[in-house]
């Protein structure tokens, strides 16, 4: 498990370095802009304004933003997988019920059959809810799944 976390952290650190490098490239883009803006030939201003500037922005700012969004999705998906591993005794539907609604007496009875005591079940569910809310900042289970495309 720790090796898995280290490998993931190394990967994410490299992604963050790429984001920083792209941010640094952004300043170069501003240096390049005035070098090609002009009116030496009739279409130069239009090519600069419509094409070159857009390409410079795309390769720096937009790429860095997209990488940031993807990194965030990777981090959240890993947290989700780790959460599901930790609470594997609960199905996806049960987790939705536990985290988004109040369990009915019938659902509680069914769940309690898996635990030695009702107290153990309550403690496990309370731990699950607390862990979820700390990890995913009180967001609904189904909303996180939708954000992750699962």
Structure-block tokens of residue 86: 């930790």
The pLDDT score that the predictor gives to residue 54 is: 86
The pLDDT score that the predictor gives to residue 119 is: 93
Nearest to 124 by CA among 115, 136, 133: 115
The pLDDT score that the predictor gives to residue 75 is: 96
Q: Residue 113, SS3? A: coil
For residue 133, the Cα-to-chain-centroid distance in whole angstroms is: 16
- Taking a C-beta distance cutoff of 8 angstroms, is the pair 128, 87 a contact? yes
Each of the 150 residues of the chain gets a pLDDT tens digit; together they read 679 999 999 999 999 999 999 988 888 887 887 788 888 888 888 887 778 888 888 998 899 999 999 999 999 999 999 999 999 999 999 999 999 998 889 999 999 999 999 999 999 999 999 999 999 999 999 999 999 999
Nearest to 135 by CA among 78, 66, 65: 78
List the domain boundaries for the chain. 1-86, 88-150
* Distance from C-alpha of 37 to C-alpha of 45, rounded to nearest angstrom: 6
């Amino acid at each position: 498990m720790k090796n898995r976390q280290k490998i993931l952290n190394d990967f994410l650190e490299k992604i963050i370095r790429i984001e920083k490098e792209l941010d640094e490239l952004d300043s170069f883009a501003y240096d390049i802009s005035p070098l090609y803006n002009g009116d030496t030939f009739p279409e130069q201003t239009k090519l600069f304004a419509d094409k070159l500037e857009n390409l410079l922005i795309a390769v720096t700012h937009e790429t860095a933003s997209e990488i940031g969004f993807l990194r965030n999705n990777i981090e959240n998906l890993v947290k989700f997988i780790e959460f599901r591993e930790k609470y594997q005794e609960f199905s996806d539907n049960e987790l939705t019920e536990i985290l988004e609604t109040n369990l009915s007496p019938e659902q509680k009875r069914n769940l309690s059959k898996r635990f030695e005591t009702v107290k153990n079940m309550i403690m496990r569910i309370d731990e699950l809810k607390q862990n979820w809310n700390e990890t995913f900042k009180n967001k609904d289970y189904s909303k996180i799944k939708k954000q992750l495309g699962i």
